A and B are shown apart, each in its own frame.
Chain A
Amino acid sequence: MEWFLDPFALGFQQRALAGGILAGLMTAVVGTWLVLRGMSFFGDAFVHGIVPGIAAAVVFDINPLLGAAAAALVMVLAIELVNRQTALSEDTSIGLLFVGMLALGVIIISRVDSYSGSLTTILFGDALGVTTQDLLIQAILAVVVISAATLFYRPLLALSFNADKAQLWGLNPGRAHAALLVLIAAAVIGSFQSVGTLLVFGLLVGPPATAALVSRTVPRMMLTAAIISVFSVWLGLTLSYHLNTAGSATMAIVPIVLFFIVLTFTRLRTLRREKVLSHA
C-alpha cells in the first residue's frame, strides 16, 4: 500500500497529481476530436508554437498563460495566411510555423541567464512545481473546455464525418473547426505548466488513439481516453517517484506504451477470430 500512497504524501505531490488529472481530462476530450479530424501534426506543431509566447512571458515577467495565448493566435493566423495566399498543402504551412515558432522561442529564451533551466521547464513542464493558483486556473479552463466540447458535439461529429455534409445540415463546419482550434489552444495552455509544451502532445494524442482502438462511439472514445489519461498521470507520477525519473516525461510515455499494449491485444484478438472463422 505504501508503494501507492508514498508518491502523493506531500502537498506538492498531490498538486502535481491534481494538475496532471485536469490536464489529462482536458486533453482527452479535445484530443479525441484532434485524432478523429486527422490533425495530429497540427497538434504537435501547435504545442511547440506556443513556446515563444511563454519564453517572452519569462523574459518580460508577465503571465505565461497570456504569452501562450498570444503565440497560439499568431500561429493559427499565420498558418491560415499561408494556406490562403499559396497553393502549398496545409502540412507545409504547419511545418513552416512549427519550426519558425520553436526557433523563435529558443532565441528569446537564450537571452535569459538561466537559459537551459527555463527552456527545460517550458518544454518538459514542472509537475512538482504546480501551485494552488495554477490548479484553480486549470480547473476553470477544464470546465470551459469540457463544456464547450459538449456544446459543439454535433457540429464536431458532423465535421469529422464530412465537412460538406456538415454544411448541408446547417452545422457550419468553418465555425466548428474554429471552435476546435480554440479548444486545442485552451487545453494546451491549461496543461503546459503541469506536463510541459512538448509532453502535452503525448496526452493529446496517446489516450484518444488508444481509446480509438477499442471504442465504437465517439462519447465512449472520449470516456475511455479520459480514463486512460487519468491512469497515465497517476501511474506516471507513481513510477517517477519510485524510479526517480522526470515526472512529466514519465506521465507522457505511459499512454504511448499503453497504445502499443492495446494494439497488440486487439491485433491478437482479430487474428484469433479470423482463425476461428477460417476453421468454421
Chain B
Amino acid sequence: MIPELGHYALVLALLVAAYQSLAPLVAAARGHAAVMETAVPAAQSQFILVATAFAALTYAYVTSDFSVANVAQNSHSAKPLLYKITGVWGNHEGSLLLWALILTLFGAAVATFGANLPPALKARVLAVQGMIGAGFLAFMLFTSNPFLRLDPAPPDGRGLNPLLQDPGLAFHPPFLYLGYVGFSMAFSFAVAALIEGRVDAAWARWVRPWTLAAWGFLTVGIGLGSWWAYYELGWGGFWFWDPVENASFMPWLVGTALLHSAVVVEKRDALKSWTILLAILTFGLSLIGTFLVRSGVLTSVHAFAVDPERGIFILGLLLLAIGGSLVLYAWRAPALRAAGAGLFKPVSREGAMVLNNLLLSVAAATVFLGTLYPLFLDMIGGGKISVGAPYFNSTFVPLMVPLLAAVAVGPMLAWKRGDLEGVAARMRIAFLVTVAVALLAVGLAGDWTNALAGLGIGLGVWAIAGALVEWAGRIQLFRAPLADSLRRAAGLPRSFYGMSIAHAALGVVVLGITASSAWQTEVIKVVRAGESIQVASYTLRLSDVREARGPNYVSQLARIDVARGGQPVAVLEPEKRRYPVEGNNTTEAAIYTTWFADLYVVLGDPDEKGGWVIRAYHNPLVPWIWGGAVLMFVGGLVSLSDRRHRVGAPRRSAAAEPATAPSGTA
C-alpha cells in the first residue's frame, strides 16, 4: 500500500511539474500576475509530493519490504539500519529519487523565500526548475521506477554492495547531489535571464548564494568520495582519475569558475554573457556527470546498448537541456552585451578572474577530453585506448601551476586597473618564505632532486601566504595600533574572510597532495605474530590475527602495536571482511592519523607458514587534503553568511523591470 502511495505521489509530482514548467512561463510572457504566482504553490506541492514518494521508498527499505523490486535487489534484512536507509540512494532508481527530492527542495526554497524576486523572474526561474523536474520524474516513471512490485516476493533481498556499506560513501551521494542540483538554480536563473534578456548586478546577487552553496556541497561530496577511496580501497591513494571521479570533478571546476565570474558581474557589470554560459555549462556537466555514472556508459559503450531505452531517454534529456539552453544562449546572449560596460585593464581584479576562468575552463575541458576520448574513439572505430593518471598528470597538473601562482595575487589587484609592482613589493617576504619552506620540505624529505615536489610545496605555501598577506594588509597589522587592527579585522566583510579561507584551503590541499604523492613510504612484507616491521619512524609489531564477527559480515582482525622511539603510540586493527550475503570481500585499512601524516596499515593474505602479508604506508600530510576540503566548505559557508546575501538581497526598482512584466507588479 505504501509503495503505491509513493508511486502515486510521483505521478502527481510529474503532473505538477508539467504545469509548473509551462503555465508560469506563458503567464510571464503575457503578464498574467495571478497565473505567474501559481508557480509558488506548484513548486511547494511538487516538493511535498516527491518527499512523500521518498518517504514511501525509505519506509519500504526500513521495513525490508522485499515485494518492492528495488528493495529486494539492493537490501537485505540483516543489514544495519543505517545502511538500510542509505541503501535507498545506493542504486540507480533510488539515487534518481534523491536527485528529484533535492531539486524540488531547492525549487520550493526559491518559491518560499524568493519574495523579493521580481515576479516575472521568479516565475521563469521556477518554470525552468519545473522543466528539469519534469524531465527527471518522467525518466524515473517511464524507465527507472523504484516502486515496481515483485510477485511472489522473495524471502530476502540480495543485499547492498559491501563497499557501499560505509559511512563515507553513505553520505557521499547526498552531498554530491546537493552540489549538482544546487547548480540547477544557477542554470534556471541563467535561462530565465536569457528569456528576459537582462543580466545585472541584482541578478548576479541572486545567483551567487546558490552557486556558493552548491559549490560548497560539491566540494564536500568530492572530498567524501576521495576520503572513502583512500581508506576503503586499501593502498592509500586518494584520487584515481577514474571516470566516475572525473564526472563529479568537471562541474566542480566549471562551478568554481562560475563562482568567480559571477563576482565580476555583481561588482563590475562585466563578463555577463560568459557567466551565463558558465552557469549553463556547470549544470550541463552536472547532468552529464549524473547520467554518465548512472547509465554505465563509462564502464563500457556496450552498457549503453544493453539498455537502449534508458540510454535514449538520457540522451534526449541531455540534448534538450544542454542543447536547448545553448541554442537559447546563442540566440539571446548577444543582446546582453551592454556597450561600454565594465572596461578593465588586463592587470586588474577582473583580469585575474578572467585568468582564473580561462585556466579552470581549460582544465575542465582537459578532464572532459580525457574521460570521454576513449569512448569517442571506440565509437568512431578508431581503436581502443586507455587514458589514465599519467595523461592527466601531464596535461591537467600544468594548468594548476599558473592558477595557484595567481590565486595569491589576484585578490590584491584593484578593480579596473591593478598595480602589479605594488603587489610584488607586498609579496616579497611571502615569496622568500615560500622558497624557504619549499627548500626545507625537500630537505627534510631528503629528496633534493625532486624539483616538482618543491614546486608543489611552494605553490601551496604561496597560496596560504597570499591570503595572510592580504588580510594583514587590510587590517593594517603592525602598522596601526593592535586595537585598531583588531577593530578593522572585525569590520571586514564576511565574504572577504570566506574567500581568504577558501584560497588558503586550496593551498592546504595542494600541500597534502604534493607531500603524500611525492613522499609516501611503502613497506610490503610477510609478518608472523610477534614480528615487527619498520615504516618511516614507526615500529609495527603484529601481535595476532583473530576471527571476529560483525552484524552482517565475518572478518579477520589483526592487532598491530605501533611504537615510536620505543614508546607505544597506537594499536591498529586492520581487517579483512567477508560479507556472506553479497559474497564480497572488503579490506578495512587501519589508520593512525597525526597532524602531519597518516600511518596506514592493510592486512593482506596469509601465507602457508602462518605469516600474513602486511602493507604499511606512511603518507605525509595526507590528512591535509580532506582538512583542506572541509576548510574550503567552511570558506563557502562564511561567504554565504555575508550580510549582502542576507540583508542586501537587492530589489530591482520598479523602473528597472523588464518591459514584458506588467507595470506595477513590483
A binds B: no
Q: Chain B interface (Cβ within 8 Å of chain A)?
A: none
